[in-house]
Amino acid sequence: MNNFDESDMVYCPYNKEHKMLRKKLQQHILKCRVIYKDTVELMVCPFNKTHLIPEPEFFQHTKACEDRKIIVDYQTNGSAELNEDTKHAKIECEENWDDDNDPVYDPQTYCSTANIVREPCGLFPSQRKAFIKEENRRHFGEDYKEEKRPPKAKNRVDTRFDPYECRSLYSRRQ
Ligand SMILES: [Zn+2]
Ligand SMILES: [Zn+2]
């Protein structure tokens, strides 16, 4: 099992004798960072923070860095050839916030069709009346008439507790 693709092999930035698979590097660096922390000063590449470069090579790296190439290409050509590290699969999502075909949300339009109670705001009394009438028609149907309103005060007496009824109940229990 030694036939690894050479392009997957990387060198430890602390010690060129350490050669490993790219995916092992991060973990390896944590160990070497402890071992070499007093002897090797590593600098972080400005184009990719996973590039740790020994100080003497830093300047050379910033000129030759793969990720610098991507940025420079992007600035000059407007597009970039992405490497495997920077690619990711397309993320599928139910909602599409970029879709311009979606009708723009208009609260007034939405409220006029939704089954909710609207308040007549900023209207003159006559407009207010018409608005309430229209709203009632919307909620109770086209044949809505003013008379269909819930019973008002004049009916209240009928539903009151009848004191005579109370007395008869009392006497019945005796
Ligand atoms: Zn190492
Ligand atoms: Zn770099």
CB 134 within 8 A of CB 123: no
Range of the domain at 37: 6-77
How many CB atoms neighbour CB 56 within 10 A?
Answer: 10
Q: Does 8 score more than 70 pLDDT?
A: yes
CA of 32 to the centre of ligand 1 (A): 5
Q: Does 102 score more than 80 pLDDT?
A: no
| Shared-domain flag, residues 72 and 118 | no
CA of 43 to the centre of ligand 1 (A): 15
Looking at the 3D structure of the chain, how many domains does it have? 2
CA of 38 to the centre of ligand 2 (A): 23
| Res 77: pLDDT | 77
Tens digit of pLDDT for each residue in 111-161?
777 777 777 677 788 888 888 888 888 777 776 666 555 555 555 555 555
CB 119 within 8 A of CB 127: no
Tens digit of pLDDT for each residue in 22-57?
899 889 988 998 998 888 888 999 998 888 888 888
| Res 18: pLDDT | 94
Higher pLDDT, 163 or 46: 46
| Shared-domain flag, residues 67 and 113 | no
Q: For residue 122, is it within any domain?
A: yes
| Shared-domain flag, residues 68 and 115 | no
Residue with tokens 């407007």: 78
Indicate which ligand has the atom closest to the C-alpha of 47.
Answer: 2
Indicate which ligand has the atom closest to the C-alpha of 25.
Answer: 1
Indicate which ligand has the atom closest to the C-alpha of 28.
Answer: 1
CB 25 within 8 A of CB 48: no
Q: For residue 135, is it within any domain?
A: yes
DSSP per residue over 5-26, as a string? -GGGEEE-SS-TT-EEEHHHHH
Q: Does 172 score more than 90 pLDDT?
A: no
| Shared-domain flag, residues 121 and 71 | no
